A and B are shown apart, each in its own frame.
Chain A
Amino acid sequence: MAHHEHAAEHAHHDEKPAGIMRWLTTTNHKDIGTMYLVFSLAMFLIGGLMALVIRAELFQPGLQFVDPGFFNQMTTMHALVMVFGAVMPATVGLANWMIPMQIGAPDMALPRMNLFSFWLLFFAFMLLLSTLFLPGGAPAAGWTLYPPLVLQTGDAFPVAVFAVHLMGASSIMGSINVIVTIMNMRAPGMTLLKMPLFSWSWLITAYLLIAVMPVLAGGVTMLLTDHFFATSFFNPAGGGDPVLFQHIFWFFGHPEVYIMILPAFGIVSEIVQTFSRKPIFGYEAMVYAIASIAFLSFIVWAHHMFTVGMPLAGQMFFTLSTMLIAIPTGVKVFNWTATLWRGSISFEPPMLFAIAFLFLFTIGGFSGLMLAIAPADFQYHDTYFVVAHFHYVLVPGAVFAIMAAVYYWLPKWTGHMYDMKLANIHFWMSTIFVNVLFFPQHFLGLAGMPRRIPDYATQFSDWNMVSSIGAFGFGLSQLLFVYIILKAAKGGAKATAGVWEHPADFPAGLEWTVPSPAPYHTFETAPEVK
């Protein structure tokens, strides 16, 4: 056994059922974290395949591969799988693994609920994916589920709604766990303002989740009763209003995009300080920036709806509030830059991904700022420009940060260094192809190509072709990622406890004080933080 001495001391603790039973019954935060991460990787690949179906169809004008109805199922399912199946569970997996270890807690506060929330999520996704095989196919009204269109969904409709309910319940339980763990189980001396930024970002994310998942659940329940019980929340024939759903959805949806990016902010902060060998610049400002972004994210939702015909005052308000959000976002970017400044920088794979994040996420921030300006958004809205925007913040933003986190903590999880050379290749391929894939979409959108269409006018051919080439390149590069992880799980050079050279210890997490791989149980007696 790798951690033999430890196991001898606490033999009763390390007992775990072998094989599948271990995973079905475990309440260990590391096991559950692993399950979340593996689940997320699987969903990333499935969602990626759907994206490749989309990009294959869009490679040329004309319909070559799929029926337009199926194309709409693909865009809808791709987004739902990526948002709820890949990005969110990945950050939950990281939270499970890292929060207890960063703050010196022995486990998550509510381990059984932890396991329950994983299996709920798993079940929810089996349901959601099964809709592809139901009569009428999967939901095809876009991940935004706007009525009246979504009410034309076939048998998949109640199944998808139920799946969303389960995912929401799972997220809420996960969030309660994070909050209770952080509030109650920090090691003595680990004050809130000493906490590593990854844990901080998750604390705030958890509050966002608890606040907005019930709103989404309420919205889809109203859809359900409109469909089956003759209510008219969104049905104009009965006095309802389809736009009401959009308000409900985006009251959830905009905080949701920050739910995906705040943990990424935390990850990038930790990596930038490690590989600049200099503690994060403006630690407190970083915490306040995250908190103000979280607050502002509740008052900007209607910037997704400028074209629905809002009153003038509403358009002005949402333009201004959205622009406000750029300020704390800017503060974060400036603080990261200042952390690099007069540091001692090296470029290991986690840092490479973090640096790509700094540049490419910021590009997404710029396009976000442009979209915030209502009069200009009348042109941008629902075009490929929006597609480019949110993919820049989500792929080289959230997803790159998650990859950076994997490269940062993988040695801590497995006890092995991974193949740095391959990881570098993975980085360069991903970064080049992600730009080939998404940058031309800015041009397509500005030139007038709407989003969510399976076929297009011929003036859009060239850039679509370029974008599709980028997509296949990016997709293939990710096989390398899977290979690197599997290889490191099997073996490799032994990692030290610290793994990387860390700056003087403020505000570093306690994960670096335990051996690599981290023993099955860590911090059974609380460490003292000075």
Chain B
Amino acid sequence: MANSKKLLAGTTGAIVAAASLPARADWSLLNMPVGVSELSREIYGMHMLILWICVVIAIFTFGAMIYAMVKFRKSKGAVADMSMLHNTKLEIAWTIVPVFILVGMAIPSVDKLIKIEDTTGSELTIKVTGYQWFWEYEYLGTGVSFYSRLDEASNEARQLDSGLDPEAVDHYLRNVDNPMVVPTGTKIRLLLTANDVNHAWWVPDFGMKRDAIPGFINEMWISVDADKPGTYRGQCAELCGRDHGFMPIVVVAKPRAEFDAWLAGEQVKAQQASTGAATTVRVETTDGGESVRLAKAE
């Protein structure tokens, strides 16, 4: 009696635990995000289109296989039909029909590609440089640039045997010290490059990723919907060495006016840093007669 009660309690516990799993596993953890830009929505639509086409084809082929395996079993007395060895018409049909399906999938994808590659008409250009293992964002023509690294809390928790619980860290591994800031409702061109090895810049909500390759400059564009300011997170997507898993990307999208204010503030800071630096810079002459600048801003 006591035993069966224990069993019951145990089973209930297990069921509750099991049920809490799917409760946490909401849809966003099963599928691609729709995202917050025109491109990301189109890419999501493309993804769902091909997914459903595949599901339909799968139902037919798997259906036929299952039917055959149930119906034509030796144990149920099925005898092989030796006249069914080939059929040219059938072969042609199942070669041609897929061609049409594939063309149906290819046409919209060409259309999307053209749009994705069209970086003209952007209002802001940000140069993104990958380093082992952090990012640099440079707002071209404004004098604003800064580095963006994994935040301290994640960095402590991620050390081998840190004893810290990642679940307790705010946005574990998806948080940085200085996020990239962009205006909403604006077409922004990103110029991607790297300083050491290949990296890839990817924020799923923007629909795109692109490699950052040393010595070369890649282009892509993003645009966050005007009505969707917020914080969007991603991370490096190309193996770049030991800490590849630890160079997140955080983008804060602000309404245009707020962004302009932010940028102006950063510009002032940058200016102070350089002019301020000018007043405190000591030019020291080293033994070799080389001048070394020790910037001490503040």
Contact = CB atoms under 8 A, between A and B. Distances in A.
B266 interface: no
A461 B198 CA distance: 27
Contact of A331 (B95, B240, B241): B95
Interface in B65-117: 65, 68-69, 72-75, 78-82, 84-87, 90-91, 94-95, 98-99, 102, 105-106, 109-110, 112-114, 116-117
Contacts of A146: 198, 239
A222 B29 CA distance: 42
B173 A455 contact: yes
B209 A355 contact: no
Query: Which range holds the interface residue count of chain B?
Result: 35 or more
A378 B207 contact: yes
B166 interface: yes
Interface string A455-472: 111111111000000000
A333 B61 contact: yes
Interface in A241-287: 241-243, 276-279, 281-285
Given A243-B216, A334-B94, A342-B72, A443 B238 contact: no
Contacts of A66: 160
Nearest to B79: A344
B86 A462 contact: no
Interface stretch (A5-13, A445-453, A481-489): A445-453
A375 B244 contact: no
Contacts of A148: 196-198, 214
Pick the most buried of A283, A376, A455: most chain B CB atoms within 10 A of its CB: A376
Given A149-B239, A237-B215, A320-B106, A369 B157 contact: no
B58 interface: yes
Given A307-B211, A344-B78, A376 B62 contact: no
B202 interface: yes
Interface string A83-94: 000000000000
A344 B77 CA distance: 8
B213 interface: yes
Contacts of A374: 109, 113
A181 interface: no
Contact of B241 (A152, A366, A459): A152
A342 B32 contact: no
Choose among B174, B204, B215, B240 the residue with the greatest number of A CB atoms under 10 Å from its CB.
Answer: B215
Nearest to B238: A382
B148 interface: no
A55 to B, nearest CB: 15
B226 interface: no
Interface string B185-229: 000000010001110101010011111011110110000000000
A69 interface: yes
A501 to B, nearest CB: 9
B202 to A, nearest CB: 7
Contacts of B197: 148-149, 152
Given A236-B214, A242-B214, A373 B109 contact: yes
Given A236-B214, A278-B81, A337 B99 contact: no
B84 A337 contact: no
A175 interface: no
A379 B109 CA distance: 13
A381 B209 contact: yes
A382 B91 contact: no
Contacts of A375: 42-43, 46, 109, 112-113, 116
A409 B115 CA distance: 54
Contact of A448 (B43, B165, B204, B246): B204
A454 B31 contact: no
A173 interface: no
Interface in A311-348: 312, 315-316, 319-320, 323-324, 326-327, 330-331, 333-335, 337-338, 340-346
A378 B208 contact: yes
A35 interface: no
B72 A282 contact: no
A504 B75 CA distance: 19
A278 B78 CA distance: 12
A337 B63 CA distance: 10
Contact of A343 (B78, B207, B242): B78
28 contacts: A62-B158, A68-B246, A72-B241, A146-B198, A148-B198, A152-B197, A241-B216, A242-B216, A276-B72, A282-B85, A308-B218, A327-B102, A331-B91, A333-B61, A338-B87, A341-B64, A344-B73, A345-B73, A373-B46, A375-B43, A379-B204, A382-B238, A446-B31, A446-B32, A447-B33, A450-B202, A452-B245, A503-B82
Please name the 8 residue pairs, one residue from A and one from B, whose CB atoms are nearest each other, closest first.
A236-B215, A453-B245, A342-B81, A309-B218, A340-B68, A375-B112, A278-B80, A366-B54
